Structure 1
Amino acid sequence: MADTKREIERKYRSDESGLPDLTGVAGVAAVIDKGVAHLDATYYDTPDERLATAFITLRRRTGGSDAGWHLKFPVSPGVRDEIQAPLSDTVPRVLAGLVRSHVRDAELVPVVRLRSDRDVRHLVDAEGALLAEASVDAVEAERLAGGTTGAIVQWTEIEVELADGGDPVFLDKVEKRLRKAGVRPALAASKLEWALAETGGLKDRRKPRARAPETAGEHVLAYLRAQRDAIVELDPAVRRDLYDSVHRMRVATRRMRSAFKSYGTVLDRAVTDPIGEELKWLAGELGVDRDQEVLTERLTAALDELPRALLAGPVRTRLRTWAHARSGGSRRRLIAVLDGKRYLALLAALDALVDSPPLLKAARGRPSKVIPKAVRKDFGKLTELVEQAVELSPGTERDLAIHEARKKCKRTRYSAEAASKALGEPAIDLVRSMKALQGLLGDHQDSVMTREALRELAGQAHAAGESSFTYGVLYGREERRAELVELDLPVTWPSIKRSMEV
């Protein structure tokens, strides 16, 4: 098993004077000497430093109060999520899985050994509660692989780590005191970063100053690269089951697939279509349970809104049983997909696509000419679908037409997103309009799916001798929600259409 904690800390350069007196920091009642800890950590990475490039650290450490394996992901400057696993001789499987999207098939090898003598102080309040841990670390780093193998560097730094659940504002107070004492921030965000840089071989992880895209192809590729990066970076979050991570990863796959279709004059679809099919497969695997969860949440919320007098029979129990029976996947299944060869092959294909894109003649064209044409084409198809849906009578045929319009609305939104840096405010305005329209059409589709579920639930309840009254009430409410969308669409759509004609 692995445990996770949020690490909030700041690092500073240190000289012979060591840690300044921190008793003057607001809120600090005492500074308690906790002695010196001897730490020995070996950091692992691929030979080409893929984890370091992504600001991820993986280490095996002995000594101190938290000996074991530590994997750290960046959250924001000075904030990292640390996943801990028990001490073992090899990288724990759970941690190896969390870095797989970065490591792929490469080997994880020891790259740096850090030995530190950590002189620890606890900053506590008047009741003895820990506010932060401040330490002076005397560090010796040895390069084990890459760079100048065998090189050794030494330095001393001050580290201040906020106590679990503490207010980050407290670190500002500590820093103010340290600056008054002449202490300045460290030159690197982590010990590993400094060790790699000083022993030769750390790639320059600073992103080069971005050159403004000049061609249509460069604009589209920048958008595709952002989606590829999102998929890779969200992989660990999906494995950790972090909030909204599955949804965000699915959206990245949809954005990329949409760009392939919208900008078929820029990128050769003979190359992108097979990749698009694999992205569709991945989105489907990610959504095995998610769509059912969303539907169950909608039904649960609808029940919560009903007066008690309208609840007849074991409705909530029936809903839970139904939801469990329809759950088609599991966390174990999803992790197996992310660990599988097909997924890794897809990541490799995405890398190859953005590194050696199959550009067509239009890719060399001016963005102001090529990109608007693609967006207008998507919007034109959307117009046909919306106007067709508005003309149809209420019923199944109209439901299907509105669903098709919703899918085309997403594509138009994503093509406008990809165009935003080239076209500026007009594209941004279109994204806003498409997002609002997508929400409207999506509410209609959700109502259609919810009514299908309610018919199924009512049938099961009837077969079990239970009342189906409540399901009928909910069905009527959902029917009304869809009707309101159908009434709103002819009113909303003309203004959106006019904005595109300006």
Structure 2
Amino acid sequence: MADAKREIERKYESDDGGLPDLTGVGPVASVLDRGLVELDATYYDTTDERLAAASLTLRRRTGGSDAGWHLKFPVAPGVRDEIRAPLGDTVPEQIAALVRSRVRDRALVPLVRLRSARDVRHLLDARGTLLAEASVDTVTAERLTGPGGTARWTEIEVELADDGDPALLDRLEKRLRAAGVRPSAAPSKLARALAETAPDRTGRPAAPAAPETAGDHVLAYLRAQRDALVALDPAVRRGIPDSVHRMRVATRRARSTLRTFTGVLDRAVTGPVGAELKWLAGELGTERDQEVLADRLTTALDALPPALVAGPVPERLTAWAEARRGAHAHLTGVLDSRRYLALLDALDALLDDPPLRRAAGRKPKKTLAKAVRKDERKLTALMEHALALPPGQERDRALHEARKKAKRTRYAAEAATEALGAPARALTKAMKGLTTLLGDHQDSVMARRVLRELAAVAHAAGESAFTYGLLYGGQESHAARLEAELPGRWKEAGTALSG
């Protein structure tokens, strides 16, 4: 079974390769020599180095106290999440799944072998508690594929102990710099090994040029959403909070881009991709919507005085939420499906060979503004229709449709922000506020639906439905307050639109 560990470390280089005395730096009271450890790690990747391009490292390592398979995800500079699995001859399935969105149908092959002689020292406080580990690594790198060669270097590594204070690393760095030690130019051993053993040593491809045409802007935004989908895939599998929501938003943004900018991208070609994005957003929405509703109802119930909770309402609500926890297993199955991986391939193909129309080559300001204004006009019609309806189910449905259009307008403005500047930023902000209010309203609609169902089940079991009715009334009153606020909020948004 794989487990996870947050790794906070810094790497350094020194001309003499030595480690200065770190005793007395902050709370470091003593430095304990732990001796020499021999480490042997084989790094795996696709032959076109897809993992390395995303700063991911996958290795099989022997030696030391943590032999096994390790997969590292970048979190921030010097911070990585390390997923570990027991040692075996092949990549464990639980780790292979976490890189599937990048690897697809490519094989993971041994790419580089790193052998390190690690001279380890433990930095301890006055009570003997481990604060950090400092080591001097003598590394030998060997490229295992192609005509690459070997490389050898020495580096210093300082890793914070579990639950350690990151401020200690700043203090240690100050001492190291004073001794002539400098931060490493490479973010990881693997990155340095790949650079120094590559046959041509040309490094990574240059970053894409700044967008100039309307097509450039649209494709840059679409590419960002594709990248977000791929990057969030492992977080969703791991159950990282908010990852499902963020992946769903990226899916919707990508689909909205294809639907809004039809003057730039040929919808006859992008239509099937848009349909698959709609499917994925629906699958992602199942778990996310249930999480939101469960939190909403639990919060409302907790706010009630105990005297108003009649019957086993908390237990029924918990059972309802637990019965839907299987949504995550279903979602993992979706991410493993051929259909999902084919969608990622289709997005790659679309970006590699985009079906550009004539307007794609024009200056962006006029072309993108025209597309955004078209979405604005449709939203205006939907809002006017919804606000003219009396409160009830028909208005609820109309407001839900307006909410979806407001999101699309927001995403269109986001895609055009670099070209249109302040007006697009103002529109994005206005649409975010409007969609938040409309989303709150829709959540109240869905919460009332669940409460009706739970009340019916409770009544059939001979229990009191009083509390469900009380909660229902609270959600209904909240929705009414939101609807009363809508005209003013829409007026504010309209100012941004006209501006």
Alignment partner, residue 439 of structure 2 = 442
Q: Which residue number in structure 1 is paired with residue 249 of structure 2?
A: 251
Q: After superposition, what is the alpha-carbon deviation per residue over 1:37-72, rounded to whole angstroms, capped at 9, x for unaligned?
A: 011111111111111111111111111111111111
Q: Deviations over 1:169-206 (max 9, x none)?
A: 11111110011001111121111111111111588665
Equivalent residue for 1:40? Answer: 40
Cα distance in 2, alignment partners of residues 22 and 201 from structure 1 = 39
**CA distance in structure 2 between the partners assigned to 1:201 and 1:267 by the alignment:** 39
The one of 181, 184, 188 aligned to 1:183: 181
Residue 330 of structure 1, CA deviation: 3.5
- Does 2:420 match 1:423? yes
Give the conservation status (yes or no) of the 8 Å contact 1:49–1:202.
no
User: Residues 311 and 470 of structure 1 are in contact (CA less than 8 Å); yes or no, is this contact kept in structure 2?
Assistant: yes
User: What is the aligned partner in structure 2 of residue 6 from structure 1?
Assistant: 6
State the one-letter code of the partner of 2:328: R
Structure 1: which 5+ residue stretches go unaligned?
Answer: none
Aligned residue for 1:445, secondary structure, equals helix
Q: CA deviation at 1:211?
A: 2.8
SS in 2 for 1:389: helix
Instruction: Pick closer, same or farther for the CA change 1:167–1:264 going to 2, 3 Å.
Output: same
C-alpha distance in 2, partners of 1:444/1:12? 53
Q: 1:135, 1:158 within 8 Å by CA — same for their partners in 2? A: yes
CA–CA distance in structure 2, aligned partners of residues 144 and 479 of structure 1 = 65
Are residue 392 (structure 1) and residue 378 (structure 2) matched?
no
Name the SS of the counterpart of 1:288 in structure 2.
Answer: helix
Q: Distance in 2 between matches of 1:53 and 1:409?
A: 35
What does 1:27-426 align with in structure 2 at a 5 Å threshold? 27-146=27-146, 148-149=147-148, 151-201=149-199, 208-325=206-323, 327=324, 329-426=326-423
State TM-score, norm by structure 2.
0.97
Q: Distance in 2 between matches of 1:273 and 1:127?
A: 65
Q: Distance in 1 between matches of 2:174 and 2:495?
A: 55
Q: Please, which runs of 5 or more residues in structure 2 have no aligned partner?
A: none
* 8 Å CA contact retained: 1:53, 1:203: no
What is the alpha-carbon distance in structure 2 between the residues aligned to residue 82 and residue 370 of structure 1?
45
Please show how residues 19-34 of structure 1 align to structure 2 within 5 Å.
Answer: 19-34=19-34
Tell me the alpha carbon deviations over residues 272-324 of structure 1, each in whole angstroms, 9 at most, x when there is no partner. Answer: 11101111111222222221221111111100111112111111112122333
Query: What is the number of equivalent residue pairs in this alignment?
Result: 499
Q: Percent identity?
A: 67
Q: Is the 8 A contact 2:56 2:74 kept in 1?
A: yes
Residue 322 and residue 330 in structure 1: after superposition, are their counterparts in 2 closer, same or farther (change >3 A)?
closer
What is the CA distance between 1:419 and its match in structure 2? 0.8
After TM superposition, which residue ranges in structure 1, 4 or more long, deviate above 4 angstroms? Answer: 201-207
Equivalent residue letter for 1:154: R
Q: Deviations over 1:112-163 (max 9, x none)?
A: 11111100000011111111100011111111113x34x2221111111111
Q: Residues of 2 paired with 1:409 and 1:222: CA distance?
A: 22
TM-score by length of 1: 0.97
CA distance in 2 between counterparts of 1:252 and 1:322 reads 29
Give 1:207 shift: 6.7
Question: Structure 1 residues 416-425 or 487-496, which shifts more?
Answer: 487-496
1:482 to 479, 484, 490: 479
